[in-house]
Structure 1
Amino acid sequence: MNLDANIKAGAEPRTASAALLTVGFEGLQPFLKKSKDLRHALVRLGKIGDKATNRAARKLHHQLKHAEPSVTMIGQVKAGKTSLVNAMVGTPDLLPADVNPWTSVVTSLHLNPNVTPQDNAASFRFFDMEEWARLLDRGGRIGELAARAGAEEELEKVRAQVVEMREKSRKRLGDKFEMLLGQQHDYTYVDGDLIERYVCLGDDFEDDTETSEAQGRFADITKSAELFLHRPELPMPLCIRDTPGVNDTFMIREQITIRAIRESRICVVVLAAHQALSTVDLALIRMIANVKSREVVIVVNRVDELPDPMAQIPEIRESIRKTLAEHDGPKDAQIIFTSAFCANAALRGQTDAVDARTLDAMVEWATAEGRLDGRDYSDAQLLWRISGLPAIYAALSERISEGMGQELLDRVAKSAMNLANGLNAQHQVVSRRENDKDLPPLDIAEMDSALNRIEQTAIKAMSDTFDEAIADFHKRLERSHRSFLERATGSLLHHLDTHGEDELWEYDPTGLRILMRTAYQVFGRNAQAGTKKVLLKTAQDYAGLYHRLFDVSDEGFGIESPSAPRIPSPVLLGQTIALDLKGTWWTRWWHKRRGYRNFATEFADIIKAETDPIVDALRGAHAESVREAAMQSLDEFLTEQRAILSRIADQAMSEPDSIGDMIDENTAASKRAQLQQTMADLTGFAA
């Protein structure tokens, strides 16, 4: 067996520009060393054990080696987000930076330093018929809202835009249009032309729609793009998701972006230095307000366009912090100032692309920031360091190491320790039975019965835990929802009493979001505490079974319970609702109503219809996903322990001749020594 054939120092960068990508990832080294040490321990464990143990160790080894943290990029229009993504992956012209506002594609770039069958491949998935029909029939979220509010003029505009988009799509795709919905196109290569065909809309296309490979041919209906790139200079696999933003006509992109953020542990918000963060960007703030501050990194791009970065950057930083504080944004989120232009110039080797005055100003500021340490840099290295890309890599490295990385080490180490404990028990049982021929045979029926009882008890306890936690969550959500509607309607009536019907009334829905987020956090704490309790009790039950059935004598023997799954952020709370929109349709809706009862009743109906889907999703899909993750963790634990105990029983029931070298004194002593050393090594990881 050679589990660790690919554990080696990273390959040398292919070019001088590729070498730039290594700067900033130093913070990953402690995690990577622990991962490597743990993988070596798994190799030893696989060699000590039987084939089943070997397979289990290989599976854990694979999880460590191929772990792929994901980072979701969201941002303002014209902030240079895609140019920044191109710089982060080391290919300046990979993704089209200037895409048509229609595009709604999440592009996931899977960067892998290891050689895999998917090196330099691409996969594009289209919207399915149901998603497309929702857009056509109802005009997306905006169409639903306009119809709900009776904003006929606004609804007609949405319908016209839908028709325009549909006709352009038909012109591009011809008779294949409906057939393509729900399909997936896969390629064994990646280049700019291929990507532009699926994610970038052009204004011109060829007449022959059957054979056209024109720019943006499939962009109207493309939902997601998966690109697989070999990057040997990176220290570990990484996925960077470039999202389409949150401010499209139909709010389709908002929904897509919400899902992308939920699937990642790190969210990078890209702003433009010349527009920083204002109330225009409240959709962005609403979204990141529901993500843990430590999992948010704010990147202010295009600082090369600032006349005086030394003076302006502190002002921009303070302005961003003030805006976040005023609108319930993440507290203490890290803010990094960057220039994708400088980074891409460095990657291209076009070091003269930055004019002397800009370069001098950037160098002065970067020196004050500590990005330059007085060493002699080449022109490309200088541009790269002042660009801020190493600072982004450092921020990602810290968050990966302390978040997803540490959780992965804990999870794998606990499973490895359980494998080792099983082997230890197995050695004791086999040795004892070899030395004492008068021991009664094991009662396999008793073991099966005991395992069934443990499994049934654990599954019922976990199910009861979540039934109780979700029921309490429902009650909290209902109270929050009802309280908000009552307060908002009361505010409306007070406004009408005070100002009459001619002055427009507005109401901030932040209070509702805070109430629902608090309810979700309470649910999360209850769910995690209950899950930990069930997993710990189940581990103790298994340990008792080892002692009872096999008389394991090691005082330090125990079973490691799995960690409770993390609670995903409730990003859905950032979804735009009616009260967030200050457009003309709201004014028209207001002025069409006459009479206090009409105002209050219709307002309450609209807001309830707008917020019901959020409440339903939180107590439904969101809560159930937490339950499913906990049940999956439990199921994997139960399966693991049944397999280990069954192997011990099989060995104990085997005829002496079939035990082979397990009973050879020298071999057994060597394996016991290796096992004890491996268990000692694993203890540090599972602590």
Structure 2
Amino acid sequence: MKDESGLSALHSAATDASNVHLLKIGFEGLEGFLAKTNDLDSVLRDLSEMDDANTRKSAIALQKQLHALEPSVTMVGQVKSGKTSLVNAMVGYPNLLPADVNPWTSVVTSLHIDPTASKSSNRAKFKFFDQDEWSRLIEKGGRMGELASRAGADEELEKVKQQVEEMREKSRTRLGRRFELLLGQEHDYDSFDEELIKRYVCLGDDFGDDDTSTSTDGRFADITKSADLFMQRAEVPLKLCIRDTPGVNDTFMMREQITIRAIRDSRICVVVLSAHQALSTVDMALIRLISNIKSREVIIFVNRIDELSDPATQIDEIEQSIRETLRTHNGPADAQIIFGSAYWAGNALSATLNCLSPDSAQSLLNWAEKTLHASKKIDTPQELVWKLSGIPSLYAALSERISEGIGQDAIEKIARCASNLAKGIEAASHRLASCPDGAPTFCMDKQTLLSELERIETRSLRKLETDFETLVSSYHSRLERSHKSFLERATASLVMHLEKYGEDVIWTYEPTGLRLLLRSAYQIFGANTQKMTKDLFDSAARDISEIYKQAFGLEDNFEIEAPVPSRVPPPIVIGQTIALDIKGNWWKNWWQRKRGYQAYAANFNEMIMAETDPIVRDLKVTQVASVQNDATSTLKQFLAEQRSTLLGFGEHGGCNQEDFDGIFGSPETEGRLNAMKNTIANLARDAA
């Protein structure tokens, strides 16, 4: 027997215009992280108030880094999973992004939330595909066209070409002569609303010319590559970027390429599934992508539980099914799974609970009986529904990962730089205190100091480059061996199949083995790179520490903090769709057109080599360049900071106590430094 009084309470909810205060619920897990950022900000503010120009400049730069921290969350999902509706609910605008876009739409929409901005600073930026990207689509039909062309799938290729031509002509009709001129351009707006967004990310069906058109929906959507919306949300406690991706299931596989890049740029990925679909072989493209991300960085949100007749019972079964599918297909089996409803969340935000359908309201009560527990705090109906929607649980999961992941990494990196600034001031102060006459001299002349710093920089950068060359050479060899071994095994399997079954039985071969080998090679490269980079950074920091000791006459226990090595980005491209992943009639046609076993083998080898080469090349070039560039820039920045600090203190090497107080603040400098050091030490302990 259901609680009809509960249903009445929901239907009698207040009809306030907005309940954005609900966005605060679920972010409580960020309190510890925010306290640490405030402590670090206080240290940097103290350092920025020092009268020494170099210290002040460095501290202000670090403050800007801290204030600019914007963790990003990439949303990917199944078709009809309600992903965009979920994104709208997460940012407190239930109808902001169009949730029923045409499958051709390939726009990545990034929602940049800033609690400190003013509402008047809301703005939007839209980027269009450039000429090369558009030409690839038009001339080759995107990834799908390239694949079909290699496979000799004439029928499929013709379909792709027809669809491309249709899309091109519709775009020309909508945009006229401006069509080509817009490619590679940007449109910026000082504000935005739902109608503006629809012009860029939602495809309409019929458009007239500029004079006769009655709708501007989707006017630029064919050529829009990305949309950035900047908005104020005081209820969200930190800057956050929520990135809505187009998915992985469009005709031309453009979406897949765009989504791969979006995931690679984020530390957290939310996979949105429909409660009616769970995970199946249809979603293998999705599973392949997330299988290359650490389980801790993947959150699975099962949406649309409002459409389940008995969520209290069905949800356990759905979760078991999802986990079994992930285990079977090498996905992130330990990923956190959250169940909820963007539909419920939207109604809670809009104060329209009385608009829930009877079936949805009944599902809500069914889910409430299983998940809500009695508490002293009495929630409003909107708060109850908001919690049942799963959004607060999703916020809590994001808060944990920000606090322990990208947020903590940023704090550790900036805190080490702040610690080095404080240690520099302390070193100069120590030198002053060690001189009875109060007029210390710098123990190293400027030219010697410059020479030593140059020697450290040259040696460190050269070693970094040499060590990378060694690691990359070994990594490339491992990738090439894996690639060659896979092609040999697959070709041998094909020949064996033909000898046993002939040409009428279609042969299939899973590329999972190749992906596992490539992933293993990349993981080994990543681990070796992290160790090598850390060792080199530690060595550079020891060399700088020695200069401090010589220049200021310090004890042996003085140490400069080494920079933190950057995270190795996940190899998302390994999950890219290749020919062997696609099962369909065009494969059958391809086999039947070949004549002779050698033709099968040679053509197969050639086609799969062409299909997999881009993946291997991306792992060799793009991923390696990202890791090496990060390491090089981090090292250069560290050395530049130390050069600036040491040269600055060298210029003050002959100052007396009064001069020192004038440069570094006041007679209370030592007390302030101790307070800073204690704060930084506490942050370091938390990091450990």
Distance in 2 (CA, whole Å) between partners of 1:174 and 1:272 is: 39
2:385 match: secondary structure: helix
Q: After TM superposition, give the deviation of residue 438 of structure 1 in Å.
A: 8.6
1:652 match: secondary structure: coil
User: Is the 1:267–1:297 contact (alpha carbons within 8 Å) kept by the matching residues of 2?
Assistant: yes
Distance in 2 (CA, whole Å) between partners of 1:331 and 1:286 is: 13
Partner residue, 1:167: 169
1:298 to 287, 297, 300: 300
Q: After TM superposition, give the deviation of residue 60 of structure 1 in Å.
A: 1.5
User: Is the 1:429–1:648 contact (alpha carbons within 8 Å) kept by the matching residues of 2?
Assistant: no
Q: After TM superposition, give the deviation of residue 497 of structure 1 in Å.
A: 1.6
Distance in 2 (CA, whole Å) between partners of 1:561 and 1:390 is: 38
Distance in 2 (CA, whole Å) between partners of 1:539 and 1:147 is: 54
* One-letter amino acid matched to 1:678: M
Distance in 2 (CA, whole Å) between partners of 1:116 and 1:539 is: 42
Distance in 1 (CA, whole Å) between partners of 2:614 and 2:249 is: 20
Partner residue, 2:327: 325
User: Is the 1:112–1:230 contact (alpha carbons within 8 Å) kept by the matching residues of 2?
Assistant: yes
Measured against aligned partners, the alpha-carbon deviations of 1:97-149 in whole angstroms (never above 9, x if no partner) come to 10111110000000110126982100000000000000111110011111111
Measured against aligned partners, the alpha-carbon deviations of 1:644-669 in whole angstroms (never above 9, x if no partner) come to 10111011045888656359xxx754
1:300 match: secondary structure: strand
User: Is the 2:264–2:570 contact (alpha carbons within 8 Å) kept by the matching residues of 1?
Assistant: yes
Q: Does the C-alpha gap of structure 1 residues 174 and 353 become closer, same or farther in structure 2, counting only changes over 3 Å?
A: same
Q: Does the C-alpha gap of structure 1 residues 81 and 435 become closer, same or farther in structure 2, counting only changes over 3 Å?
A: same
* One-letter amino acid matched to 1:558: E
Distance in 1 (CA, whole Å) between partners of 2:281 and 2:19 is: 39
Partner residue, 1:265: 267
TM-score (ref. length: structure 1): 0.94
2:437 to 431, 435, 438: 435
Q: After TM superposition, give the deviation of residue 48 of structure 1 in Å.
A: 3.8
- 1:186 matched to 2:188: yes
Q: After TM superposition, give the deviation of residue 368 of structure 1 in Å.
A: 2.5
User: Is the 1:310–1:364 contact (alpha carbons within 8 Å) kept by the matching residues of 2?
Assistant: yes
1:322-471 equivalent positions in 2, closer than 5 A: 322-356=324-358, 358-370=360-372, 373=375, 375-432=377-434, 435=437, 442-471=444-473
Partner residue, 1:581: 582
Q: After TM superposition, give the deviation of residue 210 of structure 1 in Å.
A: 10
Partner residue, 2:60: 58
RMSD between superposed Cα atoms in Å: 2.0
1:69 to 59, 71, 81: 71
1:617-632 equivalent positions in 2, closer than 5 A: 617-632=618-633
2:177 match: secondary structure: helix
Q: Compare 506-515 and 654-663 and name the one that shifted more.
A: 654-663
* One-letter amino acid matched to 1:586: W
Q: Compare 668-677 and 243-252 and name the one that shifted more.
A: 668-677
Q: Does the C-alpha gap of structure 1 residues 541 and 371 become closer, same or farther in structure 2, counting only changes over 3 Å?
A: farther
Partner residue, 1:6: none
Partner residue, 1:7: none
* One-letter amino acid matched to 2:527: R
Measured against aligned partners, the alpha-carbon deviations of 1:528-566 in whole angstroms (never above 9, x if no partner) come to 10000000000000111111122124x642100011100
Measured against aligned partners, the alpha-carbon deviations of 1:385-438 in whole angstroms (never above 9, x if no partner) come to 111110110110011111001101110110000000111112223444682659
1:487-502 equivalent positions in 2, closer than 5 A: 487-502=489-504
1:359 match: secondary structure: helix
Q: Compare 422-431 and 372-381 and name the one that shifted more.
A: 372-381
Q: Where in structure 1 are there 5+ consecutive unaligned residues? A: 1-13
2:227 match: secondary structure: strand
User: Is the 1:371–1:386 contact (alpha carbons within 8 Å) kept by the matching residues of 2?
Assistant: no
User: Is the 1:74–1:268 contact (alpha carbons within 8 Å) kept by the matching residues of 2?
Assistant: yes
Q: Does the C-alpha gap of structure 1 residues 440 and 638 become closer, same or farther in structure 2, counting only changes over 3 Å?
A: closer
1:636-655 equivalent positions in 2, closer than 5 A: 636-653=637-654
Partner residue, 2:111: 109
Q: Does the C-alpha gap of structure 1 residues 372 and 289 become closer, same or farther in structure 2, counting only changes over 3 Å?
A: farther
Partner residue, 1:591: 592
Q: After TM superposition, give the deviation of residue 356 of structure 1 in Å.
A: 4.7
1:80 to 79, 82, 94: 82
Q: Where in structure 2 are there 5+ consecutive unaligned residues? A: 1-15
Q: Does the C-alpha gap of structure 1 residues 513 and 440 become closer, same or farther in structure 2, counting only changes over 3 Å?
A: closer
Q: After TM superposition, give the deviation of residue 323 of structure 1 in Å.
A: 0.8
Distance in 1 (CA, whole Å) between partners of 2:441 and 2:357 is: 86
* One-letter amino acid matched to 1:683: A
2:244 to 235, 242, 245: 242
User: Is the 1:107–1:225 contact (alpha carbons within 8 Å) kept by the matching residues of 2?
Assistant: yes
Partner residue, 1:206: 208
Partner residue, 2:5: none
* One-letter amino acid matched to 1:298: I
Partner residue, 1:11: none
Q: Does the C-alpha gap of structure 1 residues 373 and 335 become closer, same or farther in structure 2, counting only changes over 3 Å?
A: farther
Q: After TM superposition, give the deviation of residue 206 of structure 1 in Å.
A: 3.0
Q: Compare 388-397 and 56-65 and name the one that shifted more.
A: 56-65
Distance in 1 (CA, whole Å) between partners of 2:441 and 2:69 is: 46
2:533 match: secondary structure: helix
Distance in 1 (CA, whole Å) between partners of 2:322 and 2:374 is: 25
1:110-149 equivalent positions in 2, closer than 5 A: 110-115=112-117, 119-149=121-151
User: Is the 1:86–1:93 contact (alpha carbons within 8 Å) kept by the matching residues of 2?
Assistant: yes
Partner residue, 1:686: 684
Partner residue, 1:677: 675
User: Is the 1:48–1:675 contact (alpha carbons within 8 Å) kept by the matching residues of 2?
Assistant: no
Q: Does the C-alpha gap of structure 1 residues 563 and 415 become closer, same or farther in structure 2, counting only changes over 3 Å?
A: same
* One-letter amino acid matched to 2:623: H
- 1:539 matched to 2:537: no
Q: After TM superposition, give the deviation of residue 363 of structure 1 in Å.
A: 3.2
Distance in 2 (CA, whole Å) between partners of 1:87 and 1:414 is: 38
Q: Does the C-alpha gap of structure 1 residues 437 and 38 become closer, same or farther in structure 2, counting only changes over 3 Å?
A: closer
User: Is the 1:127–1:182 contact (alpha carbons within 8 Å) kept by the matching residues of 2?
Assistant: yes
User: Is the 1:150–1:589 contact (alpha carbons within 8 Å) kept by the matching residues of 2?
Assistant: yes
User: Is the 1:417–1:686 contact (alpha carbons within 8 Å) kept by the matching residues of 2?
Assistant: no
Partner residue, 2:99: 97
Q: After TM superposition, give the deviation of residue 50 of structure 1 in Å.
A: 1.4
* One-letter amino acid matched to 2:674: Q
Q: Does the C-alpha gap of structure 1 residues 612 and 417 become closer, same or farther in structure 2, counting only changes over 3 Å?
A: same
Q: Does the C-alpha gap of structure 1 residues 651 and 577 become closer, same or farther in structure 2, counting only changes over 3 Å?
A: same
Q: After TM superposition, give the deviation of residue 366 of structure 1 in Å.
A: 3.6
Partner residue, 1:616: 617
Partner residue, 1:33: 35
- The number of aligned residues is 670
TM-score (ref. length: structure 2): 0.94
Q: Compare 675-684 and 630-639 and name the one that shifted more.
A: 675-684
User: Is the 2:440–2:654 contact (alpha carbons within 8 Å) kept by the matching residues of 1?
Assistant: no
Q: Does the C-alpha gap of structure 1 residues 436 and 122 become closer, same or farther in structure 2, counting only changes over 3 Å?
A: closer
Q: Does the C-alpha gap of structure 1 residues 635 and 15 become closer, same or farther in structure 2, counting only changes over 3 Å?
A: farther
* One-letter amino acid matched to 2:639: L
* One-letter amino acid matched to 2:82: G
Q: Does the C-alpha gap of structure 1 residues 49 and 409 become closer, same or farther in structure 2, counting only changes over 3 Å?
A: farther
Q: Does the C-alpha gap of structure 1 residues 190 and 371 become closer, same or farther in structure 2, counting only changes over 3 Å?
A: farther
Distance in 1 (CA, whole Å) between partners of 2:470 and 2:328 is: 36
Partner residue, 1:276: 278
1:206 match: secondary structure: coil
Q: After TM superposition, give the deviation of residue 315 of structure 1 in Å.
A: 0.8
2:282 match: secondary structure: helix
Distance in 1 (CA, whole Å) between partners of 2:111 and 2:193 is: 13
User: Is the 1:174–1:210 contact (alpha carbons within 8 Å) kept by the matching residues of 2?
Assistant: no
User: Is the 2:440–2:653 contact (alpha carbons within 8 Å) kept by the matching residues of 1?
Assistant: no
